[in-house]
Structure 1
Amino acid sequence: MICKNTHAVLSVLLLLCSTVHAQEQAKYRVTYDCDAQIVTGKTNTYRWTLDIGETTAVFYNKNYRLYSRELAEAKANGTSTALMDQLPVIGQKYFPKNDLQIVIGTPEKGKYSYYKQLLTSGLKYEDALPSIEWQLTDSTKTICEYECKQAVGSVYGRTWTVWYSTELPLNYGPYILNGLPGLIMAAKDSDGLFDFKAVGIENAPEDALVSAYEEDRHQKCTRKRFLEIRSDSEGMSQDQLVNRILNQNSSGEKVIVYTVQGTDAKIDAKVEVPKYNHLDKE
């Protein structure tokens, strides 16, 4: 961890240039814990990673990447029956996980690329990085040994109260929160559904790249279309949801859609379609 007494290492970083380099090497890694109600009424603590390079940064959930890699190995090395037996075990090993990825500064400066899976399809879109009108306050507190100042701002329908440190001159934060004169160390939305707090700041591993995981598995669309698909999917009944997932499978193989409890969603009449909360409300 980069502690208070070594923060000077960061004080000379990030002379931002106008040219964006694809998949540049990460210099710094920030780890956040987020208490989140992604499913209404159920709070879980997700661990998020923010890898920062000279011109770009990527925000992702490490548990999902580990889960995806182990699942791919299981698919390559075992039978379909063995995979079905391993699926709940692997899923629980990396619980909770989230496949959201956001790359800031791509495909060019001032934009971001958003990656998310809906049903069984990986989707991605590019959009302009929102300019947040922050209201600065006089409140201060210490997080990870750094003195932080408070600011309040809104983006995509949510109002966030954040704490940032000017001792860490990094124009980033969790999610797409940005635009303050220092790294955002904590952020909480006004509905109390998402509560981020930095728990570690360190130099990134030498092999860490600022890039999306399995980028080529995501189909490109617009943000508007992404939100339409997400809204339509969440408005389905249980049977409609399962049927849509099954219809997306084009390999001809038998597919079983499992519930969180590990039962067959097609025949489990007790399954309810959950109500989801998202970092963006609009």
Structure 2
Amino acid sequence: MRLFLLTGYIFCFISLGHSQINEPLDYKITYNLEFKALKNSEERQNENMFLFVSKNYSKFMSQGKFNLDSLMNAKKKLGFNRFMSSLPQTKFLFFVINELSTDKIWFQEKIATDKFLYEEVIKFNWTNHQATKSILGYNCRKAITHYQGRNYTAWYTSEIPINSGPYKFSGLPGLILEIYDDKKEYHFLIKGIESLPKGNTLTFNSKNFINVSKNTYKETLQKYIENPFKSFEQKGGSVGFNKRQKKAFIKEYRELSKNKNVIELKENDE
């Protein structure tokens, strides 16, 4: 166990054990995500999301996050100006890795400049229904579940024997092709599935991230929302704002954050 100083608080980091993945990728599955980004607006936005699948794992991320990672790898070759002008737009900068034979997932996202990773075991309580429909020519069955304050309807097919789906959803006897909450504030729908040529690999090493519990991740995120300058300044950084400007920025940032319609609601809302 080790200690890490962040935003003026000392957090105890949990020992999750070292996890490393390096295996060939078999498929890339593309979903369209239609989502309600803000609580005070009924406007829906759209993003493409990718699910990469290997023999034992899947990795879920936005197309924008995938493009950003590719761009970061090519940053030195592009030069600063071309790099900045090429930055993709996305509201989802996390990735989720699902171990297909278990209920274990890894969730990674940056807070400020720190790359946080937490491990979670999710046992979805799926209820199967007799309803069926066809999606992309695949016969699908209906199942429902509840997760983090939202009721979800999923359509899955046993014709594609992959125990995974968008975001953290898994545990059905086949690939989830469509899933949405009862208000359709988050609606994932498959657009296509393709086999990947040899040479594509899923790589992951938990040592590359700051391993914490989910609660510590959420607490750290909340502290960042309360004062997004604090951790940067404690590391010796400087921002070109005076006190009045900083106060106004922090107030606006808090209000924007409170208005964000996150996919996971509070656990006590369940």
The bucket for the TM-score relative to the shorter chain is 0.7 to 0.9
Looking at structure 2, the residues matched to 207 and 158 of structure 1 have their Cα atoms a distance apart, in angstroms, of: 39
Equivalent residues in 2 for 1:9-88, closer than 5 Å: 22-40=21-39, 41=41, 43-71=44-72, 73-74=74-75, 78=79, 82=81, 87=84
Aligned Cα root-mean-square deviation (Å) = 3.1
Structure 1 residue 77: deviation in Å?
Answer: 6.1
For 2:260, the aligned partner's letter is Y
Give the CA deviation at 1:99. Answer: 1.4
Q: Distance in 2 between matches of 1:256 and 1:164?
A: 51
The answer to whether the 8 Å contact 1:47/1:61 transfers is: yes
Amino acid in the other structure paired with 2:151: T
Aligned residue identity for 2:158: T
Code of the residue aligned with 1:34 in structure 2: it is: L
- What is the alpha-carbon distance in structure 2 between the residues aligned to residue 52 and residue 97 of structure 1? 23
Q: Secondary structure at the match of 1:169?
A: coil
Counterpart Cα distance in 1 of 2:197 and 2:188: 23
CA–CA distance in 1 between the matches of 2:78 and 2:24? Answer: 32
- Structure 1 residue 159, shift from structure 2 partner: 1.6
Equivalent residue number for residue 7 of structure 1: none
Alignment of 1:159-238 (within 5 A): 159-212=151-204, 217-234=208-225, 236=226
Q: Is 1:121 equivalent to 2:122 in the alignment?
A: no
Q: Distance in 1 between matches of 2:261 and 2:32?
A: 17
Alpha-carbon contact 1:124-1:220 (below 8 Å) kept: yes
2:263 corresponds to: 279
CA distance in 2, matches of 1:127, 1:215: 13
What is the deviation of 1:202? 1.4
Q: Distance in 1 between matches of 2:26 and 2:94?
A: 21
Residue in 1 aligned with 2:143? Answer: 151
CA contact (8 A) 2:61 2:96 kept: yes
Deviation at 1:76, TM superposition (A): 7.3
CA 1:30/1:65 → structure 2, altered by over 3 Å: closer, same or farther? closer
Q: 1:95 aligns to what?
A: 89
Structure 2: gaps spanning 5 or more residues: 1-18
Identity percentage of aligned residues? 21
Structure 1 residue 190, shift from structure 2 partner = 2.2
Q: For each residue in 1:28-56, what CA deviation from the matched residue of structure 2 results, as whole angstroms up to 9, or x when unmatched?
A: 22111101234433532121111111111
- Summarize deviations over 1:11-35 as a string: whole Å, max 9, x none: xxxxxxxxx9822111122111101
Give the TM-score normalised by structure 2: 0.75
Q: Structure 1 residues 255 and 161 mapped into 2: Cα distance closer, same or farther (>3 Å)?
A: same
Deviation at 1:98, TM superposition (A): 1.8
Distance across 2 between alignment mates of 1:216 and 1:181: 32
Name whichever structure is richer in strand by fraction: 2
Shift of 1:97: 4.6
Task: Provide the C-alpha distance between the structure 2 equivalents of 1:124 and 1:167, rounded to a whole number of angstroms.
Answer: 33
- The answer (yes or no) to whether the contact 2:32–2:191 under 8 Å persists in 1 is yes
Residues 1:68 and 1:166: Cα distance change in structure 2 (over 3 Å)? closer
1:114-168: CA deviation from partner (whole Å, max 9, x where unpaired): 101223322001122x111111122222111112111110123322111111211
CA contact (8 A) 1:51 1:204 kept: no
Distance 2:72 2:166 in 1: 27
The amino acid that maps onto 1:30 is I
Q: Which amino acid aligns with 1:119?
A: A
Over 3 Å counting, the alpha-carbon distance change for 1:131 and 1:215 in structure 2 is closer
Consecutive unaligned residues of structure 1, counting only runs of 5 or more, are 1-19, 258-264
Paired amino acid for 2:24 = Q
Q: Does 1:247 align with 2:241?
A: no
> Could you tell me whether the CA contact under 8 Å between 1:26 and 1:204 is conserved in 2?
yes
Shift in CA distance, 64/158, structure 1 to aligned 2, threshold 3 Å: same
Deviation at 1:59, TM superposition (A): 0.9
2-structure distance, mates of 1:145, 1:35: 21
Report how many residues are paired: 239
